[in-house]
Structure 1
Amino acid sequence: MQTRRKTKMSEFSPVFTASRAQRWTALLLGGTALVALTPAAIAQQAADPVALSPITVQSDETQTAADGSIVAEQASGGGKLTGDLLDVAASVSVITEAEIKRRNASNMEEVLQYTSGVQTNFYGSDDRFDYFKVRGFDAYAYRDGLSVGATFGAAREEPLAFERVEVVKGASAAALGASDPGGAVNYTTRRPKLGRHAEVYTTLGNNNHAEIGFDFGDDLNEDASLSYRLTGKVQDAEKDYGASRDDELFLQGGLTWRPTAQTELTFVAEHLNQDNVPGSGGYPVGVDTPRSAFFGEPDYNYRGTERSTYTALLSHDFGTGLSLSSTLRYSEEHADFGYVYVSGSAGGTDLTRAQFTNDESGTKLAGNVVLDYRTNLGAVGSHTRFGLEYLEEDSTSALWWVGVSNIDYANPVYSGISTNQATSPYNDTDTFNRTTAVFINQEFDFGDRVIANIGLRHDHLELSQTNNLTNTTTSGTFDELTGSAGLTYKLTRNSAIFASYAESVVPAGLTVEPERGEQYELGFKYRPANGRALFSASLFDLSRTNLTRTNPATGLQDTIGKVRVRGLDLEAKAELSEAIALTAAYSYLDSEIVENGTSGNEGNNLAYVPEHMASVWVDYTLKGTGTRGDMTFGLGARFTGSYFFNDANTASTGSNIVYDAAFSYHPWDNTELAVNVSNLFDDKHVAYGGFGADWYSPGRTISATLRHSF
């Protein structure tokens, strides 16, 4: 007989008090009074006054950087965190399509690895998911402003699906929804463009990598009110360790209808099919083993993902300062993986091993409606954004685990395991989540000199989970209010300082309190008059309470208590001349476990959070002469400081530096031959460990791509 227990929010965490809600509401409504109380002289004393721009509706596509540029000027945020990057009171990094192509980034970790505050590759040769942290915390992902969720456990995203990627650093729940305080990553979907365009490419590389891809589109009628776009790739490849594969089929199609100059409706459908492996299975601790060694089971090493996604995007300008945007997305996904991995040492050269298997599937429906109203209140510009959001997720997951035979790493002999050895799952659940939210953001612009904004968001979450092993259901209802406030002061037309406060919240589970975070930040931004560069610096202090993790050794959730990360981010994206382009980043992260119950880790650093990270990438283009076409030389370096593998700070890895290189040649105007090398000197270090095995950093990859546009 199934039992059902309804759990109130008060059983898990204190409900936001009325005084706290009233305080945020008063701040939001009080913004209107600020207009009346602020002297008109503020607007008049601004140096080089700028007239307010005409109001237009911009799609995410029109907000990207100019074609071929690594520098973006606008933030899209899926319609939630929009505007000139110089004016936004937050640290936002944009990785444009041009930058992704120049570095030939083939997965999301590679896309993000030259961004300040972002850490990648800390799971080494564990290749199941996209692993990245922002300012010391796992980042939630969004697509066109709608939640994708935690990246751990989700499909590895295909960069070809996106026009650009934005990293919003710091707490952003008031704008985006549930997220960790370190930051969030928003993917912008490719959409049809006006006019004819076409590109095809083929890539060959080491690890038996072979890939072909295309991206083309055109208008379907004479008045260009209907346009289409098709994008796709087929990949057949392996990894740099034994018994591996890295195959993929991706196809995306889009159709845009523009019935009037004020209205645009886009529909995008895509299918992602990945057939690869969960990872190398690990290596013996403290033994320098070749990357090509494999101590799992060749016949039981798989990770498959099949996902179909359907998206509709609507925008309309009512012509009176009022505009509407709406996004609706439905996806269905099935994923499975099984492998045998190294779990410890049995003495001598013998390694103990275990088999892990997972099978899961789910559907997700997400949508929002956002109204924007822009007007002038005398000399003050006003921008009000109001939105409603809905998210519904339904998923099933089953997990199996069992110990299997040992293996001698000096003379490995495989046991021939080809099926699941566990007789029954140790975890089998059905999970249902429903979130409804309302959010509002108010911004005032005082003569393009002072920009103030405040935001509020209320989320109502209904969560339930059925344990199919015990036939019991646990449910919970959460009501969370989060807020943000920011102030930008334009020192000149091209430079600004900002200060902000923002909150975050994540329901970590039904048996633990929601994780809450907050961040204070001070920052500076500078963009030269030509707009081909953006320099930024920020100081931040963020904290997170009720931090909850799944312990890899026990599979149970552990609550840390309270942690804090304080630090500095520096970033530059600049096209210094027609010949030289630069991307540089540095981050200092001071992490501390402030409260940790009875575990005794107070004062320690957070696991997998380095104190220092730095990167630089430089492109130099040699213009062609006569019969010789343009040539571009690229060189990059990524430094990651040492970090601990556990919160007890008893095991760690050393600091490391990895070099990347690129070369491209244009024999003709529309043809490019590019060679990219990641990890140029094949650096090898232990990126992940502390649980019975070591996992090495990714090895050197070499690829050659022939690309032609017409």
Structure 2
Amino acid sequence: MALPLAPTLPRLLPRTAAARRLPPLVRIALCAGLALGTLTAAPPSRAQARQQAQSQRDYDIPAGPLGSVLNQFAQGAGVELSAASALTQGKHSPGLHGRYSVQDGFLQIVQGQGLQVLRGPSGAYSLRAAPPSSLNRADVSTLAPVTVKAQRENPYGPVSGLVARRSATATKTDTPILEAPQTISVITRGQVEMQGAQTVNQALGYTSGVLPAFGGTDSRYDVVMARGGLFVRQYLDGIVLPFSAYSVAVPQFDPYMLERIEVLQGPSSGLFGQTSPGGILNMVSRRPQADPRHELWLQGGNLDAGKLALDSTGPLDADEKLLYRITGLVKSSDGVADHSNEKRTLIAPSFTWRPSADTSLTLLSHYQRDRVIPQYQGLPASGTLRYNPNGTLPRTRFAGEPSYERMDREQYAVGYAFEHRLDDIWSVRQNLRYTSVDIDARGTPGYALAADGRSLSRVATQGLGKGSILGIDTQAQAPFATGALNHTLIMGLDYVKQRDDYRFASAPAPSIDLYDPVYNVAIPDLIPRLSTLQTMRQTGLYMQDQARAGGWVFTAGGRFDRSEAETTDRMNQTGTPRRDEAFTGRLGVNYVFDTGIAPYASYSTSFEPVGGTDYAGKPFEPMKGKQVEVGVKYQPEGSETLLTLSAFQLTQENMLTPDNTPGRASFNTQAGEVKSRGINIEARAELRDGTDIIGAYAYTRSEITKANPSAAGLSLEGLPLPRVPRHMASLWINHEFGAAFLNGLSVGAGVRYIGANYADSPATIRLPGNTLWDAGVHYDLGRAGTQLSGYKLSLTASNLTDRNYVNYCLNELQCFYGQGRTVLLGLRKQW
């Protein structure tokens, strides 16, 4: 078996007259590439290839099996390597730490192993058994040409560094990001660890056009918006997660159990069925790997934060047909608000069985338990966002009742990913998962502020939610050719069954003096207010063809869905059935130049069922979304750079708006419409001098273009959607030092800007813009001595300047402070 190989050296666009005749949007991407120092004048010659082989880079490869270490080095060096597995079987390497050229790096890794690495005239490398007399620096020499295979990133597996090249989220096939006709962002494990993100929301903080729906303050959930304030539907490994307008039974996933976090922006129902036009958030689980790797991670920080995490993977047999992975953690932390805290226990075992090269079955599971006294404490705008004669309320103020408030969540999931190649053309896949969430959420929010500006009337609430969802997605894929076109055809049938049981109760609670709070008050018995059971079934049949001819890539897909749902009101003994059908799709075209520049355009649609009926008792039609997007991507072959520039216009129709017909004041009609327009720019680059850059900018305009006035004569028409900043920008720069006394040290800093926006639909609560700073310092202790090989220190901080700001409001009585400074110190051992 050949070792996986690293990408070939870049082949970039020469500066010719033809290049100057490219469209303006393409030239913009070229200029951005020049600014990052990644654009070269011509394909490298053999002399340049030799020069690259002699140039030095910093490496930090932990000890492990020899084959794994060689593979990681080849990927990091950007060269191709082939080897028979028999040469590396049973051999161990201490890893590689320090600054090396390609020749010296290979020599160091194979030293004492009885092996040599030989470079052919083409620049490709080959591992061979070394004769006794050749175990010296001449081990890397010129050899006759060898046949090698190209390294290809697995879209379900790890990414080395910050820049992904492939994804399966945008097309449900293994597709280069350059060929996806929509904006897609991939947040890798490397980025999560570099920035110290503790939630998925935090991990998305440097993603263009993406914003936490509740300002990121509510750490109990990860709810995301994109494309102008539109919610994004969440998936795990391509299977939809529990969702409901009636319940709190929503899961949350710790970033430690995830390999990638991918956001596909814009309508995506053509592949995924009923979704919001904002797009989808697909989280990819860590999966078993053939290369044995293990990790222990101890972390602590301010707010009494502590975490112990474990990750271990590798083969269970000599033939590597059985692989395992187990990931788990325990962690706890206090919140910014007094009395608040969070505790989590997680275990995620998975197994892969590969009986042959044509068949693979991976079992995926996890169990998670959360115990939270929420720091999500709503305070009046008077005293936080606005002046209050009693003074400013501190962000540590707990407005609820600590002896009563809590959120207990228990969630688990079991499923599998199966793949089998039937012949040289057809292969089949099936992904299945059952997810269950059980939540007990209790709170005491305020509903009225007295004239003195300090006494807050409260109501005690309890929501009990039990949700489950079964998702099955079966696919058949075939590559074939028709004349000059090479096709990748995928046909699929998926099925979703969801059950959501929700009970809600409330009662008036004692008021609180926000400026002199007294706690441990008695909470009265609650009165049941709501008891609903919602069941939903969705069946979808879809087809997509990706046709390629030269640099052209044409993507065309369509899907038909049938959705059936019934909501039972157990208190009133009524049931509301509904049935929806919809056809959605996507058309896209890309042209991928040899230089890695890929302009594209696409049109896509979505649908999302709406509960309730109009005045005549007619069920509402699904909301529909449609989007036109144009853009250009730039990712030169062999480089670690990805630039994306896109512009979009999105329309959402059939939105609910008040029925202004006389006598129908309490009813709605579907005359509402929203439009969003914007530009997204995102850049990710790992430069050869050890500098990493993540940059993003988003300009967004949203507008309610159709809306009826309410009974009071107020209309939202012409206003923006809530929580849609006109401007958002972020920049993260990290540098790894190579000097002897700093070898192994990397330092990063980031800045995030969220522009001013309105918190409420009538646009009466204006949130000012905010700028936040983050930082991270990492040190590889193995660089200081081999006895510390595999040990790494990390120090990360978010909101470094401890800025005090309000980042979200529900209404005049419920505004929420942003997260204060969070500092975490970690020690990891990897082997």
Normalization by structure 2: what TM-score? 0.75
Structure 1: how far apart are the matches of 2:213 and 2:820? 11
Whether 1:274 and 2:347 are equivalent positions in the alignment is no
Q: Assess if the C-alpha contact under 8 Å between 2:196 and 2:797 holds in 1.
A: no
Whether 1:489 and 2:591 are equivalent positions in the alignment is yes
**For 2:568, which of 456, 460, 466 is the aligned residue?**
466
Matches within 5 A, 1:98-137: 98-120=190-212, 122-123=214-215, 125-136=217-228, 137=230
**For 1:643, which of 751, 757, 765 is the aligned residue?**
757
Once the two structures are overlaid, the 10-residue window that deviates more, 387-396 or 483-492, is 483-492
Give how far 1:630 is off.
Answer: 0.5
Where has structure 1 moved over 4 Å in runs of 4 or more? 53-59, 149-152, 555-560
Matches within 5 A, 1:253-652: 253-287=349-383, 288-348=392-452, 349-414=454-519, 416-417=521-522, 419=523, 421-423=525-527, 425-447=528-550, 449-511=551-613, 512-547=620-655, 561-599=672-710, 600-623=715-738, 625=740, 629-652=743-766
Structure 1: how far apart are the matches of 2:754 and 2:151? 43
Whether 1:657 and 2:771 are equivalent positions in the alignment is yes
* Residues 459 and 515 of structure 1, relative CA distance in 2, 3 Å threshold: same
Q: Assess if the C-alpha contact under 8 Å between 2:242 and 2:435 holds in 1.
A: no
Structure 2: how far apart are the matches of 1:344 and 1:274? 31
Describe the superposition over 1:317-352 as per-residue Cα deviations: whole angstroms up to 9, x where unpaired.
234122111101012221111011222311212112
- The alignment-based identity, stated in percent, is 28
Q: Assess if the C-alpha contact under 8 Å between 2:343 and 2:371 holds in 1.
A: yes
Supply the AA of the counterpart residue of 2:721: L
- Which secondary structure does the structure 2 equivalent of 1:426 belong to? strand
Supply the AA of the counterpart residue of 2:239: L
- Which secondary structure does the structure 2 equivalent of 1:109 belong to? helix
Describe the superposition over 1:449-482 as per-residue Cα deviations: whole angstroms up to 9, x where unpaired.
1111111111111101111101111111111111
What is residue 814 of structure 2 aligned with on the other side? Answer: 693
Once the two structures are overlaid, the 10-residue window that deviates more, 596-605 or 116-125, is 116-125
Q: Assess if the C-alpha contact under 8 Å between 2:597 and 2:632 holds in 1.
A: yes
**For 2:165, which of 45, 54, 73 is the aligned residue?**
73
Structure 2: how far apart are the matches of 1:334 and 1:701? 29
Give how far 1:79 is off.
Answer: 6.8
Give how far 1:150 is off.
Answer: 4.3
- Which secondary structure does the structure 1 equivalent of 2:203 belong to? helix
* Residues 387 and 549 of structure 1, relative CA distance in 2, 3 Å threshold: farther
Give how far 1:671 is off.
Answer: 1.2
Q: Assess if the C-alpha contact under 8 Å between 2:380 and 2:812 holds in 1.
A: no
What is residue 143 of structure 1 aligned with on the other side? Answer: 236
What is residue 679 of structure 1 aligned with on the other side? Answer: 799
Structure 2: how far apart are the matches of 1:105 and 1:127? 12
Q: Assess if the C-alpha contact under 8 Å between 1:129 and 1:151 holds in 2.
A: no
What is residue 7 of structure 1 aligned with on the other side? Answer: none
- Which secondary structure does the structure 1 equivalent of 2:192 belong to? helix
Q: Assess if the C-alpha contact under 8 Å between 2:242 and 2:468 holds in 1.
A: no
Matches within 5 A, 1:183-262: 183-262=279-358
Supply the AA of the counterpart residue of 1:85: I
Q: Assess if the C-alpha contact under 8 Å between 2:262 and 2:283 holds in 1.
A: yes
Structure 2: how far apart are the matches of 1:630 and 1:638? 27
Structure 2: how far apart are the matches of 1:341 and 1:123? 18
* Residues 85 and 556 of structure 1, relative CA distance in 2, 3 Å threshold: farther
Describe the superposition over 1:518-569 as per-residue Cα deviations: whole angstroms up to 9, x where unpaired.
100001011123230100100100010123599xxxx999968100000000
Describe the superposition over 1:78-112 as per-residue Cα deviations: whole angstroms up to 9, x where unpaired.
87154000111111110011111111111110011
Gaps of 5+ in 1: 1-46
- Which secondary structure does the structure 1 equivalent of 2:445 belong to? strand
* Residues 548 and 315 of structure 1, relative CA distance in 2, 3 Å threshold: farther
Q: Assess if the C-alpha contact under 8 Å between 1:80 and 1:176 holds in 2.
A: no
RMSD, matched Cα: 2.4
Describe the superposition over 1:237-278 as per-residue Cα deviations: whole angstroms up to 9, x where unpaired.
111111211100000001100000111101012101011134
The structure whose residues are more often strand, as a share, is: 1
What is residue 38 of structure 1 aligned with on the other side? Answer: none
Q: Assess if the C-alpha contact under 8 Å between 1:476 and 1:510 holds in 2.
A: no
* Residues 671 and 278 of structure 1, relative CA distance in 2, 3 Å threshold: same
Normalization by structure 1: what TM-score? 0.88
Describe the superposition over 1:496-532 as per-residue Cα deviations: whole angstroms up to 9, x where unpaired.
1101000011113243331110100001011123230
Structure 2: how far apart are the matches of 1:172 and 1:213? 35
Supply the AA of the counterpart residue of 2:547: F
Give how far 1:375 is off.
Answer: 1.2
Q: Assess if the C-alpha contact under 8 Å between 1:128 and 1:279 holds in 2.
A: no
* Residues 682 and 123 of structure 1, relative CA distance in 2, 3 Å threshold: same
Q: Assess if the C-alpha contact under 8 Å between 1:121 and 1:697 holds in 2.
A: no
- Which secondary structure does the structure 2 equivalent of 1:707 belong to? strand
Structure 2: how far apart are the matches of 1:579 and 1:654? 36
Give how far 1:608 is off.
Answer: 0.9
Describe the superposition over 1:598-642 as per-residue Cα deviations: whole angstroms up to 9, x where unpaired.
24111111111111111111111112626x640111101110011
Q: Assess if the C-alpha contact under 8 Å between 1:363 and 1:393 holds in 2.
A: yes
Gaps of 5+ in 2: 1-41, 44-147, 384-391, 614-619, 659-665, 783-788
Structure 2: how far apart are the matches of 1:111 and 1:351? 35
Structure 1: how far apart are the matches of 2:569 and 2:771? 45
Supply the AA of the counterpart residue of 2:802: D
What is residue 93 of structure 1 aligned with on the other side? Answer: 185
Describe the superposition over 1:561-583 as per-residue Cα deviations: whole angstroms up to 9, x where unpaired.
10000000000011122410000
Structure 2: how far apart are the matches of 1:279 and 1:399? 21
Describe the superposition over 1:125-157 as per-residue Cα deviations: whole angstroms up to 9, x where unpaired.
333321221112111011111111549841222
Aligned residues: 650
Structure 2: how far apart are the matches of 1:263 and 1:578? 41
Q: Assess if the C-alpha contact under 8 Å between 1:639 and 1:656 holds in 2.
A: yes
* Residues 132 and 522 of structure 1, relative CA distance in 2, 3 Å threshold: same
- Which secondary structure does the structure 2 equivalent of 1:101 belong to? helix
Structure 2: how far apart are the matches of 1:187 and 1:329? 14
